[in-house]
Chains A and B, each alone.
Chain A
Amino acid sequence: MDPVTHAIAAFALLVLLLGLGVPVAYALGLTATILTLIAGNPGEVLYIAASLFEGLESFELLAIPLFVLMGAVIAASPAAADLYSVLHRLLSFPGGLGISTIGGCALFSALSGSSPATAAAIGSSGVPEMMQRGYPPRLATGIIVGGGTLGILIPPSVVLIIYGIVTETSIGSLFLAGIVPALIIVLLFAAYVAFAVRQHERSSGELSENAGRANSSGAGLRVVPFFALIVGVMLALYGGWASPSEVAALSAVGAVALVSMVYRVTALSIWGQIMMKAVRETSFIMLIAAFSYYLNQYLAFQGSISEITALLLDFSSNRWVTLFLLCLSMLALGLILPPFAIVVIVAPMFLPFVLSAGFDPVWFGILVTIIMEMGLITPPIGVNLFVVQAIAPEVSLRDIMLGSAPFLGLLAVTAVILCIAPGVALWLPGLLL
């Protein structure tokens, strides 16, 4: 088999295994194993444990489970509800509830670093509140699905950490580069929500936007320490006192201390549940990272990665045409694979083209993350859709998907803005680093 046929066979086998219901992580590893048995050197499958060990033996990768731990701790606390009620109180105007939900998602992303955690934490307060105040179910669920995607762009982001590791790009630069595009997405989402609410009010009457003040006393004071923690650890990162992995550990320990003190969570049973949730997420993400690395090693060994890179370099004289096709292929992969698996597999393939075409690897990392955000909204793997459906089972998946479609379009608009003006991502790291 030639290298490109290897890659095509790997993709076909992966789709087949996923169709069989094999979980994504195992399907990635099984694909490499079966192809090694059929078309490679069968004896090499006996080195799989060594390959998994090598894939996970990384100082940088440590940041992921530790940020996951921080996210699990904060997501289990009432911090999301407090944050939401503070924003809602500040934005008591038409569309204010929806906009405060978007704002809550953006700010909570900085505390959790995860899209599904953001969608679940803000959505569990936001969806019932919006629907109770007359927001159409499609809009209410769409806001959470869309807002939740910010979790992988706003630092600390698992996707950006993995991209930084596999492409050897500065994780600190990537974190900074994600901030302005994330703000643009927040503004676009907020503008759309204001427009949709006005349209709804014109056709169906006024919405009740007043915040429930009774439940929000002291909420502002309670969430401030969490943001102080994030700002503090980011200062430690950019001040050179700690690496990204060390910052993640400080954040996790700090989150445990703050949740214990601010919300007086001391019951061992609750901490047990929080830690078990963190174990589930850690095992899920790290196994995907390990098996993606294994598949990537297989494709590299067969020459598929270098061959695909060469094809990309010769594909078109117009670098934007090639880039557009790369984005489409990542979006297609996003239909069946979670973001971090895609980044591990395709980023090393695409990076040589990115560099030789004169694109900035930090900028490309942000573009990839926005494409991955779009994947989070797109079925069948679109994780955020299912998170929101679990929160609002009375709303059909079809309605949630239709409600999310405008947010998908706005993410595409942001990707276009990023291509037209790369400075949107590169300005802040250029200024501060």
Chain B
Amino acid sequence: MVAVRVHAGRDCARSWRASGSPFVRLIKTAYSVLLKVNRLFALLAAFALALAACSITYGVLARNLFGKSTTWELEAGIYLILYATFFGAAYTHVAGGQIGINALRDLLSARWQRFHKIAGDSATLAFFALIFHSGWHDMWTAFDRGWHSDTIWGPPLWIPFLSIPVGAALLVVTMALEIILTISDHEPPQIIKSNRAAH
């Protein structure tokens, strides 16, 4: 069943990518590549999540079974979860994992639905552009001034800070391409997004 859905998604993706003007086809190709990039970062997010669980479990076992006190595992866990959250953000968005209220959109005509989507996506794009700017500034400042966490472990702070601008950048580019495709009336079908998101 899943295989059938994947094949249907691939066929649909091929015919969707082939239609439209050269500019639109270029944007569609860029969007398809971006979905793969988003998936790669989501895989890294999954790895970070698994690593967080393992490092904290190691800390508990080391403390209770071997009497060793560890100083790094909870802090590392926090930073890994930051990476899981922001690296997985664009993938989650494309996969429809961010809940919104679409009751109003469903009441509108097709033309107004497009306008409605562009308005909502533009707001999101502007917001994440701001987060990217702010996150990049923080990361660069921490790197430039050699800031470290004020714990015994004390890792460089630019490392956890980096997760925010990277995650925000992926979302900004994703939203920008989706807006262009919506304006040009070539919105990607949901099956492409879900198939790319799920596999």
Contact = CB atoms under 8 A, between A and B. Distances in A.
Contacts of A159: none
Interface residues of A, number: 59
Contacts of A273: 198
Interface stretch (A41-49, A142-150, A197-205, A224-232): A41-49
Nearest to B104: A19
A24 B124 CA distance: 11
Interface string B50-74: 1011101101100010000000001
A241 interface: yes
A69 interface: yes
Given A58-B78, A241-B64, A280-B95, A21 B117 contact: yes
Given A49-B137, A280-B92, A245 B77 contact: yes
Contact of B88 (A49, A280, A381): A280
Interface stretch (B9-17, B21-29, B160-168, B183-191): B160-168
B160 A53 contact: yes
B84 A282 contact: yes
B60 A20 contact: no
Nearest to B98: A23
Nearest to B163: A53
Interface in A215-248: 236, 241-242, 245-246
Interface string B29-58: 000000000000011011001101110110
A131 B104 CA distance: 32
Nearest to B116: A21
A275 B128 CA distance: 25
Nearest to A47: B134
B120 A21 contact: yes
A59 B74 contact: yes
B127 A33 contact: yes
Nearest to B102: A21
Contacts of B84: 65, 279, 282-283, 286
A192 interface: no
B123 A53 contact: no
Nearest to B95: A280
A282 B123 contact: no
A249 B57 CA distance: 6
Given A65-B52, A278-B49, A283 B78 contact: no
Contacts of B95: 280
Interface in B149-199: 160-161, 164-165, 197-198
B99 interface: yes
Contacts of B43: 272, 276
Given A279-B84, A282-B81, A21 B105 contact: yes
B10 to A, nearest CB: 16
A45 B130 contact: yes
A22 B53 contact: no
Given A21-B116, A245-B56, A279-B91, A46 B49 contact: no
A338 B97 CA distance: 13
A284 B60 contact: no
23 contacts: A17-B120, A21-B105, A21-B117, A21-B120, A22-B123, A23-B99, A33-B130, A50-B138, A56-B81, A57-B78, A58-B78, A61-B81, A62-B52, A62-B81, A236-B60, A245-B74, A249-B60, A253-B53, A276-B197, A280-B91, A282-B81, A282-B85, A284-B92
A-B pairs, 5 with minimum CB distance: A249-B56, A23-B98, A49-B135, A275-B46, A49-B134
